[in-house]
Every structure is written in C-alpha cells, then in structure tokens.
C-alpha cells in the first residue's frame, strides 16, 4: 500500500463519523416528531404506552452508532499507518 493511502483511510473515517452523527440526529428527530404528532390526537394511549413500538427511528440511531464505530476504527488505523510509515 503506498504511503499516502492513510489520507484515504482518515477521510473515510471522518466521513463515516459525520454520517453516523447525522443518522443519530435524524433518528432522534423522527422519533420526536412521530410521538409529538401522536400527542395531539384524541387517543393518546399510543403516545403514553409507546405501543406499537416503531423500530425505524431506533434502527437509524443504531446505524449511526455503527457508522461512528467504523469511522473511529478507520481514523485510528489511518493514523497508525501514518505513524508507522513516517
């Protein structure tokens, strides 16, 4: 692997971290807007019990956390590669 490939690893790590943060924020926004919309309806049982549970916002948050973990790994690997090849 050429010595300048650490740039690619660090850039991909930063990209994954950015996508992960956006995914977490988007998931929290989706959940908040869904339950705030339900709170305005006359039947608020779904709002109080959170049943039926909507897995979509939580799946987005979990995907964001996975992206952040992959991004941190790529940043550390790229930084380590840079230190070794320097």
Q: The whole model's pTM is what? A: 0.73
Predicted pLDDT at 39: 58
- CA-to-CA dists, residue 58 to 8, 52, 61, angstroms: 30, 14, 5
pLDDT bucket at 7, cuts 50 / 70 / 90: confident
| CB neighbours of residue 24 within 10 Å | 18
Residue 67 buriedness (CB in 10 A; 0-12 / 13-18 / 19+): buried
- 18 or 46, which is more confident: 18
In the chain, where the domains are located: 5-85
pLDDT by residue (tens digit) across 47-84?
566 666 666 778 888 999 999 999 999 999 998 888 88
């Amino acid at each position: 692997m050429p010595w300048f490939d650490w740039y690619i690893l660090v850039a991909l790590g930063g990209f994954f971290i950015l996508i992960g943060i956006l995914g977490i924020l988007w998931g929290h926004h989706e959940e908040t807007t869904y339950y705030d919309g339900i709170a305005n309806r006359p039947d608020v049982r779904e709002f109080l019990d959170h049943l039926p549970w909507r897995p979509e916002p939580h799946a987005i948050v979990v995907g964001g956390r996975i992206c952040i973990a992959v991004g941190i790994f790529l940043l550390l690997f790229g930084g380590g590669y840079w230190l070794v090849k320097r």
